[in-house]
Amino acid sequence: MRIDSRLKELNITLPTPPAPVASYVPYVISGNQVFISGQVTLGPNGLEYVGTVGKELTLEQGKAAARLCAINIVAQLKAACGGDLDRVKRVVKVTCFVNAIPGYAQHPEIANGASDLFVEVFGDAGKHARAAVGAGSLPRNVATEVEAVIEIA
């Protein structure tokens, strides 16, 4: 349980993945890839980082929001892997959506909150292709939403 040990070293406790609230599933396994639905900033006390980056929220808060989304992705991934995160071969693609004011230009810096988390947890296997996209709004007015594609054994 190498990855579980790494999470403990990083002082990261994975939440119980939430059940979907609509007509979709939290992840789909196709071949050796796991497609994880967009995860928002759901923390232990409910939604966190609610608001627009560049208005109510700072760059650093946006980055922390993306990191929280990535933690929720790892929780969904653990469920998809039957509890064994050592099955992860590679984080392949990450997309980070940022609820930002018009003209905002620091989406990549915010997406680094998620990208850095994947590298901290999975090492070189956490390095991935990525898109950082600005959005005029996101569900429940959260700051970020992150989705991912992960290769597993």
Question: Over the stretch 37-58, which tens digit does the pLDDT of each residue have?
Answer: 999 999 999 999 999 999 999 9
Mean pLDDT of all residues in the chain? 97
Residues 136, 106: Cα–Cα separation, whole Å? 14
Which residue, among 96, 97, 99, has the nearest Cα to 56 in the 3D structure?
Answer: 99
pLDDT at position 20: 82
| Residue 90 pLDDT > 90 | yes
| The predicted structure's pLDDT at residue 18 | 82
* Amino acid symbol at 114: A
CATH superfamily of 2-11+24-152: RutC-like (3.30.1330.40)
Share of the chain above pLDDT 90, in %: 95
Q: Where are the domains of the chain?
A: 2-11+24-152
E strands, 2-143, are: 27-30, 33-39, 42-43, 46-47, 88-99, 129-135
* pLDDT tens digits along 1-38: 899 999 999 999 999 998 888 899 999 999 999 999 99
pLDDT computed for residue 22 by the predictor:
87
Q: 3-state DSSP helix/strand/coil percent for the chain, to nearest 5?
A: 35, 30, 30
Q: Which pLDDT band, with edges at 50, 70 and 90, does 125 fall under?
A: very high
